[in-house]
Chains A and B, each alone.
Chain A
Amino acid sequence: MPKIISKKYLSEKVVQLEIEAPRIAKKRKAGHFVIVRIGSNGERIPLTISQANTSNGAITLVVQVVGVTSYKLSKLETGDEVTDIVGPLGNATHISRAGTVLCAGGGVGIAPLLPIVEAMYKAGNRVVSVLAARDKELLILEKEISAFSDEVFVMTDDGSYGQKGLVTDGMEMVIAKEKIDQAIVIGPAIMMKYASMLTHKYNIPTLASLNTIMVDGTGMCGACRVSVGGRTKFVCVDGPEFNARDVDFDELLMRLGSYKNEEAGAYKKLLI
């Protein structure tokens, strides 16, 4: 079973894990994710591959603790084993030389944004990143994103760090200053909804990386379905990235709540 090589807390509820998975490390590209399962009775959850290291055969995951499985994963220590890990899944981000790329990440969405920022930068684009978090403590990976960005703006809801405001405020500020050829937004569904409404207003082609509920991740169960341009798409095999303007974010938000009652009870039980 794949071993955890290192572990670090990025904030109180966000943990970064380096896990031995040589085959996945070799194959993965920006945008790919894995599915992990903790324990023989565990559930399968998707997590983006944030970084990969082919020399030690490890992949890095950044996990926000929201429920049972992410909690269990966060409790594993260096040397512990992850029961199952499968991937890389999904389609890789289409990386091209677009010109100036605006990369906007909210909360733990900054983790999946990192490999895309890196790839876009290395492909010769001018990369402007806008990172947003509720407060200073919750902001993650600023240094890593900065290493591959020409400019970085940080927004916090309470103004405890960077500028006070929402991710969309930061984006609008960037758009006012320079011509943006392409935007990428990753974060909570509600953030992606408003961010893509904004870029739509300015006619900027925008990609959103969707986080739906998944079971198998191979196109077998249909749990991850979303409506894109009025047609049913499966995030695990057709995505996870879609043209943001076509995504029915309200439906996505609604579907994310599918197991809310069931999950809340289980998580509470686990914490007692």
Chain B
Amino acid sequence: MAENDLGTYSGRNEEWRLDLRKKLKTKERIAINRVKMPEADPLSRIKSYVEVNSGLTEEQAVTEAQRCLDCVNPTCIEGCPVSINIPGFIKSIEAQDYDNAIRVLKDTNALPAVCGRVCPQEIQCEAACFYQTKLKKPPIAIGHLERFAADRARNSGKAFIPEIAVKRDGKVAIIGSGPSGLAAAGELAKLGYQVTVFEALHELGGVLKYGIPEFRLPNEIVDFEIDNLKKLGVNFEKNFIVGKTADFKDLREEGYSAFFVGSGAGLPMFMNIPGENYIGVLSANEYLTRVNLMGATKVDFDTPVLKGKNVAVIGGGNTAMDSVRTAKRLGAEKAMIVYRRSLEEMPARNEEIQHAKEEGIEFLVLNNPLEYLADKNSRVNKMKLQKMQLGEPDQSGRRRPVPVEGSEYFLEVDLVIVSIGVSPNPLIPMSLPQLETSKWKTITVSPDTMQSSVPGLFAGGDIVRGGATVILAMGDGRKAAQNIHNYLQNIMKSKTTASKQDNNQNKK
């Protein structure tokens, strides 16, 4: 990549970068220890909803930024799904030019405060950092620094609203206000289009709001980013289900000429084992939505939620980890993860597993539920489990769990949260029969353009990938936005040529 492709204020050969590099010797930089993120005390944080990670101080951030070697070939960028100019923003932090840090981040990432908190950095940018790959030392804390830059900008009171170069004709409808929809909306607004985001729920943010708990991602952070989009001119319509409240045909008639579908993967999966519909067995989505979106744990909110003393969460992903830690905060004495493989295969982020352990979550790995039993009121009170062992690797490359014969046993539980995955939200494909979907019911798109089989309809995020990540959803949104731009420009061009031809015809 040519050096100055990375933005005006952040090229490696800018004077300030050259000066900065001279300030400390490589040896001195390497000698600094990786920063440790300050965290709320486990025993007190499980009694509240405070954010677990409390963020770096300015001093910590600048010191950590000094560790970064500003590599000639910054491999960290290759590890980032949206190729953030990582050394560009880190060096801005070292130079204490925080305005520039946020500007560089926002070049490729619409929601740095979110990504700094929830991205699996340890398997992305940080895994590809020179410290990790070559020096065998802890990588630069890229995620912590990203969060620092974003929080600093938010708290500075200065809004970083990019300038809109030109106003263009063209109305674009975004379906879903999750990270993919928000990213697409931001890009298209910056390009000068009229953008409306339609959201089925009464709150904006998708999983960022209803799924991820506030102890990991406070709602005010999501709201701040949404406010910035509003300032950019993006319209939001809540309580509006595309395909139901209005369909694509209606929206076309209202002047929308391109669409981005970011409707997510909603539909929870169940194991279809006996007793799964007893009272007290619920999906992670229901549990988390009641708590996060509907305020079920706050006084004066109308939505109820079931509480349990012995809570089992089935699954090992981020959603499972969020559910089990929520259960602990709602007063569970025993909050357990029941997972059929081993700790090594667990898909949740390392940090979340560590935090869960600190909070006293029990891990029943190599265990699989077979059946639920209930009391006379049909409330679940026991589960039948089977022990597992690991066999040969399967198609996913992970070792296949194999039941251990005769190992069944019973465990007392009074709340079970099923978190074994989701399948794509069916509403859009149901309302648009000509839309091509895969056998997993995801929307099929061309990987180059994110365009679906319906011209002018683009899609990305979980509705295309199945359950994936925030950063991948945002990357899709941005990519689709660029291609929507091309698509609309082509339409305009062919319209003008067509009307020129019409004019010529008329003249003849």
Contacts and interface: CB of A to CB of B under 8 A. Distances in A.
A86 B245 CA distance: 8
Interface in A65-82: 68-69, 72
B293 to A, nearest CB: 8
Given A216-B201, A232-B270, A27 B245 contact: yes
A221 B286 contact: yes
A263 B303 CA distance: 9
A215 interface: yes
A220 B267 contact: yes
Given A84-B202, A86-B240, A87-B244, A237 B426 contact: yes
A89 B268 CA distance: 18
A223 B284 CA distance: 10
Interface stretch (A35-43, A110-118, A157-165): A35-43
B302 A86 contact: no
B31 interface: no
B272 interface: yes
A7 interface: no
A211 to B, nearest CB: 16
Interface stretch (B18-26, B275-283, B325-333): B275-283
Interface string B217-244: 0000000000000000000001111001
A227 interface: yes
Interface stretch (A131-139, A174-182, A250-258): A250-258
B427 A218 contact: yes
Contacts of B272: 231-232
B306 A69 contact: no
B186 interface: no
Contacts of A147: none
Nearest to B285: A221
Which residue, A215, A220, A258, has most C-beta atoms of chain B within 10 A? Answer: A220
B302 A87 contact: no
Given A23-B245, A222-B286, A84 B425 contact: no
A270 to B, nearest CB: 9
A225 B239 CA distance: 22
Contacts of A23: 240, 245-246
Interface in B238-256: 238-241, 244-246
B289 A43 contact: no
Contacts of B267: 219-220, 222, 234, 237
Contacts of A222: 267-268, 270, 282-283, 285-286
B302 A216 contact: no
A31 interface: no
A225 B294 CA distance: 19
B277 A227 contact: yes
B348 interface: no
A220 B277 contact: no
Given A227-B277, A232-B270, A237-B426, A218 B378 contact: no
Contacts of B289: 215-216, 220-221
B290 interface: yes
Nearest to B299: A41
Contacts of A237: 267, 426-427, 430
Given A87-B245, A262-B304, A218 B277 contact: no
Interface string A27-57: 1000000000101011110000000000000
Nearest to A220: B266
B238 A255 contact: no
A205 B305 CA distance: 38
A27 to B, nearest CB: 7
A104 B377 CA distance: 30
A221 B286 CA distance: 4
A74 to B, nearest CB: 14
B440 interface: no
A238 B398 CA distance: 34
A221 B425 CA distance: 11
B246 A27 contact: yes
Given A86-B245, A89-B241, A225-B277, A216 B306 contact: no
B290 A215 contact: yes
Nearest to A234: B267
B300 interface: yes
Contacts of A86: 200-202, 239-241, 245
Contact of A218 (B200, B279, B290): B200
Nearest to A41: B301
Interface in A223-272: 223, 225-227, 231-232, 234, 237, 251, 254-255, 257-259, 262-263, 266
A196 B238 CA distance: 39
A207 interface: no
B467 to A, nearest CB: 13
Nearest to A254: B378
A216 B200 contact: yes
A131 B272 CA distance: 37
Contact of A266 (B294, B298, B302): B302
Which residue among B290, B303, B377 has the maximum number of chain A CB atoms within 10 Å of its CB?
B303
Contact of A84 (B238, B426, B430): B238
A88 B239 CA distance: 11
A68 B245 contact: no
A208 B508 CA distance: 66
A85 interface: yes
Contacts of A223: 282-283, 286
A-B pairs, top 4 by smallest CB distance, nearest first, are A262-B304, A220-B266, A222-B283, A43-B302
22 contacts: A39-B302, A41-B298, A41-B302, A86-B200, A86-B245, A88-B244, A89-B241, A218-B200, A218-B266, A218-B425, A220-B266, A220-B267, A220-B425, A221-B285, A221-B286, A222-B267, A222-B282, A226-B277, A232-B276, A237-B426, A262-B306, A266-B304
Interface of A: 23-24, 27, 37, 39, 41-44, 68-69, 72, 83-89, 215-216, 218-223, 225-227, 231-232, 234, 237, 251, 254-255, 257-259, 262-263, 266
Interface of B: 200-202, 210, 238-241, 244-246, 266-268, 270, 272, 276-280, 282-283, 285-286, 289-290, 294-295, 298, 300-306, 377-378, 425-427, 430
Given A43-B301, A84-B239, A259-B304, 15 more contacts: A39-B302, A41-B300, A44-B303, A86-B240, A87-B244, A88-B244, A216-B201, A218-B425, A218-B427, A220-B285, A221-B268, A237-B267, A255-B277, A259-B306, A266-B304
